[in-house]
Structure 1
Amino acid sequence: MTSAIASLPTLIVSAGPSPDNLRACLLEAGCTIVAEVGPDATLAAQLAHHLPRLIVLSTARAAGQLASTVALACGAERRPLLVFTSDASESSIDAAITAGVAAYVIDGIEPARVRAVLGVALARFRQQQKLLDELYRARTKLAERKVIDRAKGILMARYKLGEDEAYQKMRSMAMNKKLKLADLAQRLLDVEELLDS
């Protein structure tokens, strides 16, 4: 666990004063703290400047709102988010989980515990990323399949081909043009739309 944490560039985002021992616990766990910032208008710029691989959120209350703010500032660049708070409200926990928080720790800043939480949060983040990547690939394949089927339907109607013949014709065209089948299918749909307009 420690090897995954060692020298991990870490940004602390604090809404209000962060507990004195949080920084010490993160350093003891092996993190490299690049900065401590507030959740203000410069947050996205701070993230772009420091390029943290871990973001630790510290707040006494409204933890879900802070997590949402940080996730929004991260944009498409997902990073593991950890929350240390005394906010045990269900709405904050739900908002934090929705924002992608990997660990939500209530009133628990002790060196041994922080190290363990970091390890679990990093593992959970990797698992979430893997699932999101698989979901993205599945959605992409489904979208490509729909485009291919629509293009195949156009060829079948226009040239009175069977389904297999239309598919083979598209495959052959894609290979000749050195295109992915889905890209060729999209071009066929674009041409069909142009001709119909």
Structure 2
Amino acid sequence: MNKSLGIMLVDDQAERAQMVCEQLRAAGYRLLAQLSSAEGLLYQVERHKPDIVLIDIESPDRDILESLAIINRQAPTPVAVFSARGNAEFIARAVESGVSAYMAEGISAERVQPAIEIAMAQFRSYQQLRQSLERTQKQLDERKAIERAKGLLMAKKNLSEDAAHKTLRNLAMSSNATMRAVAEQIIHYFQPGN
């Protein structure tokens, strides 16, 4: 584990936060920011660009989960939450909001490094899965557009499926465009009203 990771700490207890900051620095981590509340969390994440966010708040609430969900969409960042609030429903909602690791106990020197390692590993795994899903969705959308354009060419120009596919491919090559782009142009051209 690379201990030179940049960390943002959100802790609503000043004395505990100071102790945790000292422990993080002693362990070789870079403390980029220390916040006493999760207010403006997205702005702080975008400003400091931490490698990971550690949150230790006595009573995390729905507002924090909403902030984390926005961060997960707009500036994906690993997040580890330490909280005495350990009911299963809240933990499930936290994970849905983008929390990479949830420790149902307060933060301590012994728990920080394992939590960071878990959060980083979970985050990487989730990001790989997300990217794979996005690629698959893009390929599926491309295939659907091509199939629809072929169907339109077959119906409107009385072409066989093979001839429609060759027409698409030739148009793409001659216009130096992707088959999807050509397919979308054909779909647009044959839409009612055009």
Q: Give the alignment's TM-score, normalised by structure 2.
A: 0.88
Q: 1:76: Cα distance to partner? A: 2.1
Q: 1:171: Cα distance to partner? A: 0.8
Q: 2:182 & 2:28 partners in 1: Cα distance?
A: 50
For residues 105-143 of structure 1, what are the alpha-carbon distances to aligned partners after superposition, in whole Å with 9 as ceiling and x for unaligned? 122533243112211211111011000000111111111
Q: 2:72 & 2:137 partners in 1: Cα distance?
A: 23
The answer to whether the Cα contact below 8 Å between 2:150 and 2:161 also exists between their aligned partners in 1 is yes
1:196 alignment partner, SS class: coil
Matches for 1:51-70 after TM superposition, within 5 Å: 51-62=49-60, 65-70=63-68
Q: Which ranges of 4 or more aligned residues in structure 1 deviate by more than 4 Å?
A: none
The answer to whether the Cα contact below 8 Å between 1:68 and 1:99 also exists between their aligned partners in 2 is yes
Q: 1:90: Cα distance to partner? A: 1.8
The code of the aligned residue for 1:188 comes to: I
Q: Give the alignment's TM-score, normalised by structure 1.
A: 0.87
Unaligned runs of 5+ in 1: none
Fraction of identical pairs, as percent: 28
The code of the aligned residue for 2:13 comes to: P
* Residue from 1, 6, 27 that aligns with 1:9: 6
The code of the aligned residue for 1:8 comes to: L
1:168 alignment partner, SS class: helix
Structure 1 residues 63, 33: CA separation in 2 closer, same or farther (over 3 Å shift)? Answer: farther
- Paired residue for 2:89? 91
Q: 1:29 & 1:165 partners in 2: Cα distance?
A: 66
Matches for 1:184-195 after TM superposition, within 5 Å: 184-193=182-191
The code of the aligned residue for 2:89 comes to: S
Q: 1:92 & 1:63 partners in 2: Cα distance?
A: 9
For residues 16-40 of structure 1, what are the alpha-carbon distances to aligned partners after superposition, in whole Å with 9 as ceiling and x for unaligned? 3263433233334432111122222
The answer to whether the Cα contact below 8 Å between 1:84 and 1:107 also exists between their aligned partners in 2 is yes
- Paired residue for 1:105? 103
The code of the aligned residue for 2:75 comes to: E
- Paired residue for 2:193? 196
Q: 1:64 & 1:97 partners in 2: Cα distance?
A: 13
- Paired residue for 1:133? 131
Tell me which moved more, 61-70 or 169-178: 61-70
Q: 2:57 & 2:116 partners in 1: Cα distance?
A: 17
The answer to whether the Cα contact below 8 Å between 2:56 and 2:106 also exists between their aligned partners in 1 is no
Q: 1:65 & 1:95 partners in 2: Cα distance?
A: 12
The code of the aligned residue for 2:88 comes to: E
The answer to whether the Cα contact below 8 Å between 2:72 and 2:98 also exists between their aligned partners in 1 is no
Q: How many aligned residue pairs are there?
A: 191
Unaligned runs of 5+ in 2: none
Structure 1 residues 17, 87: CA separation in 2 closer, same or farther (over 3 Å shift)? Answer: same
With CA pairs under 8 Å and 6+ residues apart, which has the higher RCO, 1 or 2? 1
User: Considering only aligned residues, what root-mean-square deviation do their CA atoms show, in Å?
Assistant: 2.0
1:30 alignment partner, SS class: coil
Q: 1:178 & 1:185 partners in 2: Cα distance?
A: 13
For residues 66-102 of structure 1, what are the alpha-carbon distances to aligned partners after superposition, in whole Å with 9 as ceiling and x for unaligned? 2332332454221101101111122210110101111
Tell me which moved more, 43-52 or 148-157: 43-52
